[in-house]
Structure formats: structure tokens, C-alpha cells
Amino acid sequence: MAAPLANKAGSTGPTSKPPFPELDFRSGARVEELNKLIQEFTKHDQREYDDQRALEIHTAKDFIFSMLGMVQKLDQKLPVANEYLLLSGGVREGVVDIDLDELNVYARGTDYDMDFTLLVPALKLHDRNQPVTLDMRHSALCHSWLSLRLFDEGTISKWKDCCTIVDHINGATNYFFSPTKVADWFYDSISIVLSEIQKKPQRGMPKVEKVEKNGTIISIILGVGSSRMLYDIVPVVSFKGWPAVAQSWLMENHFWDGKITEEEVISGFYLVPACSYKGKKDNEWRLSFARSEVQLKKCISSSLMQAYQACKAIIIKLLSRPKAISPYHLRSMMLWACDRLPASYLAQEDYAAHFLLGLIDDLQHCLVNKMCPNYFIPQCNMLEHLSEETVMLHARKLSSVRSDPAEHLRTAIEHVKAANRLTLELQRRGSTTSIPSPQSDGGDPNQPDDRLAKKLQQLVTENPGKSISVFINPDDVTRPHFRIDDKFF
């Protein structure tokens, strides 16, 4: 970590001793320089959206919601009044705990300009006031099977073709909701709907540039005006309340105590389609606390978030082969650090360099000890399955970062600047041939007015990760009505 301030040897007089610059003991890097590099990375990584871009983001989101309404209309499997969770950043950015080794590689600038993750409940269990008990007899920690016996006969009839069937000795049949079969159904349904939409293209409608099934998620890249947006759509099971297996976590002291209410933190959780290292892919789901993490993020200081984003950019490139560490591991370590360290320390605005070095140290410590507890279920070690060879390989790579953090930050800055340059070049090149933007959709070119654009920009940029409830009329899927928390749009 950084060395404390010291006075130059040999200086005379109590007021004439200029302090040494604050240094990182391990690398000798100046803390002030590291802070400036992190600020520069943040400037290029978090771009401001103008009114045009805000409208393009809104148009893409409307298209995705309308598409899901049409999916619901195909066979009425999805709930009519569904509640999606929209997160800023794709699955590859670690916004949810899903294995990355089955995902195709997409690069910002080359493949997309902005990325989002959308959790879409296929099933909902929302009428529970007590802790939710899941069937974890066949699963590793943090995972569960899901029997449709929890649901009514209509639901079983609707979804049994997406289940694995287990016959008991007493003659009873149990249907277990299958993440792989649900993902297959979802991809097929989305493909059918998009095919129908593309038969009757409308002016200003987003161009579907790519639709791919990546493991159990569906990745869609849309072109809207001059923007390309990646949506990672994840079929999930949604629960209100809190899982019994994580009940003891609520008894501990946490950094968010007194800043947000417990009701906000434990309002719900998900099962996402991901299995454990030795689990049965057709049956096993992973617990996800993405809704809670959105709330906890409100309590994390901007300087720590900047350090986290910069560290994430470094490790995504450095630790990509073999795939063992994901940005979600780093996110968990950051949450543990928030519990461990004083809030007054983490709130220091000029400590981003300290936080970056600490996150690297934490990650290296976790690798060397092959131990990274899940934040919500600490008894679950997310690195337990890794081989000694893999963890030591990544620990050595991190050692090189720790020896010269400034150089790795400069590399991360160059990567994000190159992605931004490529985005701008593609926008200029495609400005005359790309599909019309929402603003060019006929009529007065000055419409819609500036107030609408600012409202949409606020919706997109100030409410990332909020719970979005979508109320869709299956007979008119062109008009989704959605709500972000308690705001209606």
C-alpha cells in the first residue's frame, strides 16, 4: 500500500521541509499520478450521452420490451404483467454471477457501443412473506433445483416441456424447471418473433445486427441511428423475500446499515441459469442477489467505484485465459472491503489509488488462498473448484500489475480510448447509410422537443439497474407501459 508522508532528510527548519510525494511502497509509483490516471480512465470510460443518444437508447429499450411482449403472446408462458431488472453493463462485465467461459467474445467499439443486462422472469413466486426455502439437496452451495410442485397445475402444464422429469417410487412425477431447456425455448421464441418483425420493417425501427445464444443467455445487438447496443437477456426465476440459506447474513453488521433499509436490500432475489462446477446443467440454477446489489451500490463512494471500474478493466484483459476470475469476483471483494473498512476512509475522494491497489492486493490474496466467499452466502467459496496451477498463474499475473500499476492503467486507458475512437469512426462512416434515428422519423426535424430528450436521458443515465415493471397488453404489444421503481413513463 501507499507509504506515509515523510520529510526530506537533511532539510532544516520546521516550515522548510517539503514532504516527499506519497509513494506506493511496492511499486514506487506516485499516488498522485495513479489518482490522475484513474480519473482519466473514468473520463473516457463514462461518456456523457447527448439528447440524440438518449433517444436511441430509449428506442432500443422500447423495441426489446415490445419484442418480449410478442414472445409472451406466442404461447402465454411468460407472465403478462412482468417485472424486469435492467442493469447497466453486459454479463461479461460481471453484473450478474454467470460463468463467462460459454460466452462469445464481444468488444466495445468493435461489436457494440453500450451494453445492458435484462433479467426476464419466466416464473415468479411473489406471494411469500416468510424466508424462501429452496430444494438444495442435489446442489452445491448457492445453487438449487426448482420443482414445479410449488406452482399450480396451469403453470405445470404450460412449462412441463421445459422440465426434466423425475419419477418417484411411489408413482408421483416431479417436474424440475430446467435452465438449459428454458434458455432453448427463450432463444427459439425470440428468433421467431424477430423473424416476424423483420418481415414488416418500420421506419426508425432498430436494426437487429446479431442474435446469439451464449450458453443460457441470449445476446442481441441492435443498431439504432448511430448507436449499437448489446442486450444480454437472461431468463430467471423471480422471488419476493429472502432465501433461508442467506438468513444468517442479515444478522451481521454491514456497511449499508442506516443508509438504506433492510426492506430495500431483501426485497427479492433470483435464480439465474448457471450451475456449479460439478452440478447438473439441466437442473441446477444459481442464486442471484442482483436486485440487492443495485441497492448496495448506492452506498459505495464514487472514488471506490472508480477504482473498481479501473481494476475491472485491467483484470478483464489480463486474466482472460484461462477463464477463472470474473468481474463478479472483484465486485464481491469490493463489497467485503466495504464491510471491513471504516466508512470515513472509503469516503475519501482522493483515495482512488489506495483503493485500486487494495483491490489488486485483495484479489491476489484470494487467489493465493483459493478463497473468495460469496458476499451474501459466505460459506460458498466461489474459487473452490480452481486448480492450484490456475490460481498461481493468475496470482503471478496480478503480481506484475502490482509491480507497475501505472503502466497497466495507461494500457487500460488506451484500450478504452481506442474503443471510443472506433465507435466515433463507425458512426461517421455509417451516418449516411444507417437506419434513421428516432428523431428523423418524419415530421419536423426539431421534434421531439428538448424536454422529452432530457427526460429520457435522465431515465437512462440516472436510473441504471432500477427495477422496471412492464405492463403489456398481449393484444397491443406495440405499446408497453413501464415503471422505474415508483416513476411511470
Q: Is the pLDDT of residue 341 over 80?
A: yes
Q: Which residues are CB-contacts of 55 (< 8 A; sequence separation ≥ 6)?
A: 225, 437, 438, 439, 448, 453, 456
Q: Is the pLDDT of residue 322 over 90?
A: no
Mean pLDDT of the residues in the chain: 84
Specify the pLDDT at position 91.
95
- pLDDT average, residue stretch 267-278: 94
Q: Is the pLDDT of residue 405 over 70?
A: yes
Q: What does the radius of gyration of the chain's CA atoms come to, in whole angstroms?
A: 24
Q: Is the pLDDT of residue 81 over 90?
A: no
- pLDDT average, residue stretch 89-118: 92
Specify the pLDDT at position 440.
31
Specify the pLDDT at position 201.
81
With helix as H, strand as E and coil as C, how does 257-311 read?
A: ECCECHHHHCCEEEEECCCCCCCCCCCCEEEECHHHHHHHHCCCCHHHHHHHHHH
The predicted model scores a pTM of 0.84
User: Mind listing the pLDDT tens digit for each residue in 353-398?
Assistant: 999 999 999 999 999 999 999 999 999 999 999 999 999 999 999 9
Q: How confident is the model at residue 129 (pLDDT cuts 50, 70, 90)?
A: low
Domain 31-425 classified CATH 3.30.1360.170? no
Q: Report how far apart, in Å, the C-alpha atoms of 451 and of each of 52, 437, 456, 466, 487 are.
A: 12, 18, 9, 22, 17
Q: Which of 43, 47, 92 is nearest to 409 (CA)?
A: 43
Specify the pLDDT at position 15.
53
Determine what percent of the chain is predicted with pLDDT higher than 70: 82
CA dist., res. 19 & res. 323, Å (int): 44
- β-strand 114-125 against 268-272: which pairing, if any? unpaired
Specify the pLDDT at position 362.
97
Decide: helix, strand or coil at residue 135: strand
Q: Is the pLDDT of residue 223 over 90?
A: yes
CA dist., res. 30 & res. 45, Å (int): 23
**Are 186 and 212 a contacting pair, CB within 8 Å?**
no
- pLDDT average, residue stretch 200-226: 92
Specify the pLDDT at position 430.
61
Decide: helix, strand or coil at residue 185: helix
> What nine digits make up the cell of 195?
423473424
> What nine digits make up the cell of 68?
418480449
- β-strand 114-125 against 227-240: which pairing, if any? parallel
Q: How confident is the model at residue 10 (pLDDT cuts 50, 70, 90)?
A: very low
CA dist., res. 358 & res. 218, Å (int): 35
**Are 266 and 251 a contacting pair, CB within 8 Å?**
no
With helix as H, strand as E and coil as C, how does 351-378 read?
A: CHHHHHHHHHHHHHHHHHHCCCECCCCC
- Report the chain's terminal Cα–Cα distance, integer Å: 47
**Are 438 and 453 a contacting pair, CB within 8 Å?**
no
- pLDDT average, residue stretch 152-177: 85
Decide: helix, strand or coil at residue 182: helix
- pLDDT average, residue stretch 52-72: 92
Specify the pLDDT at position 236.
97
Q: How confident is the model at residue 242 (pLDDT cuts 50, 70, 90)?
A: very high
Specify the pLDDT at position 428.
78
Domains in the chain: boundaries: 31-425
> What nine digits make up the cell of 13?
527548519
What is the helix, strand, coil percentage profile of the chain, to 5? 45, 20, 35
Q: How confident is the model at residue 4 (pLDDT cuts 50, 70, 90)?
A: very low
Q: Is the pLDDT of residue 449 over 60?
A: no
